Amino acid sequence: MPKLYGVIGDPIDHSLSPVMHQKWLRENGYDDHYHAFRVTKDQLEDAVRGLRALGAGGFNVTIPHKTAIIPLLDDIDEEAEVIGAVNTVINENGRLVGTNTDAIGFMKSLEEKGFAPEAGDSVLVIGAGGAARAVCAALAKRAKIRVDLTNRTPEAAERLSARFFNSNESAVWTLEEAEKRLAQYRLIINATPVGMSGFADALPVRTERLTAHTICVDLIYRPLKTRFLEAAEQIGAPALNGLPMLIHQGAAAFQRWLGIWPDTFNMEKYLLENYFQ
């Protein structure tokens, strides 16, 4: 009997997860079905209970439920505990176990493009929310790199720095301080919503001191090219949007459910050709 998979969130109509997972299911010979479910905050407990009762093989979790869902699950793994959020739930013989594939999705997207930081590199993370937590969790596993943080609210960045990094190896800057130091970083990651649809004319930091040797990553994928990435390309700096991370976090969830790492390369081509024209 075909199994049910899905994603819950609010809003959810924009999600590309059903497109990705349904295609991967068919490519790997499964008759299962993956659907998007709009679930409000008030409906979350009922939705989890319903997915459990239906015997769903697993499901993804997106805004605004990544933290609120934790008490409704039977367990969470170490990755979800470290990040403090769940984006994937696995049904293990009736037990709902939460994990988080955002960190592995982020790092695999960098590795695929040859952008992963190496020993001696300095990295700047812009932001201190859920996306930044996943990025920091991934970077914290890389040996001998320096990770600094900046955020509109420095106190939030300080808490994030203390959670993941040794204070002697991580500085927290105001946005103004960070802007003066952009040239010293090998990799800069925007993990804020600044630049996405609705904020498309904004920059997470001023880019006058950006240099061509710095890899610029923006976790936003709508639009594919934010003003931050445009500024990077104008000076010849390598640039990467958030679409590869979206695909790889989805692939990691697929692997947790079915034991198969799906085709990510052709998925990126498929999405670009069909959903970003």
Q: Are 249 and 60 in contact (CB under 8 A)?
A: no
Q: Quick count: other Cβ atoms within 10 Å of Cβ 49?
A: 11
Q: Are 61 and 7 in contact (CB under 8 A)?
A: yes
Please pick, among 3, 23, 41, 66, the residue that the annotation labels catalytic.
66
Conformation bin of residue 221: beta by default, left when phi > 0, alpha when psi is -120 to 50? alpha
Task: Please give the Cα distance from 12 to 94 (Å, whole number).
Answer: 26
Would you call 197 exposed, middle or buried from its count of C-beta atoms within 10 A (0-12, 13-18, 19+)? Answer: exposed
Task: Please give the Cα distance from 269 to 277 (Å, whole number).
Answer: 12
Q: Are 223 and 276 in contact (CB under 8 A)?
A: no
The yes-or-no answer on residue 3 being catalytic is no
In 3-state terms, the chain is what percent helix, strand and coil (to 5)?
Answer: 40, 20, 40
Alpha carbon 85 to chain centroid, angstroms:
11
Task: Please give the Cα distance from 239 to 13 (Å, whole number).
Answer: 28
Preceding peptide of 244 cis, ω within 30° = no
Task: Please give the Cα distance from 275 to 277 (Å, whole number).
Answer: 6
Task: Please give the Cα distance from 228 to 220 (Å, whole number).
Answer: 10
- Catalytic residue numbers, as ranges: 66
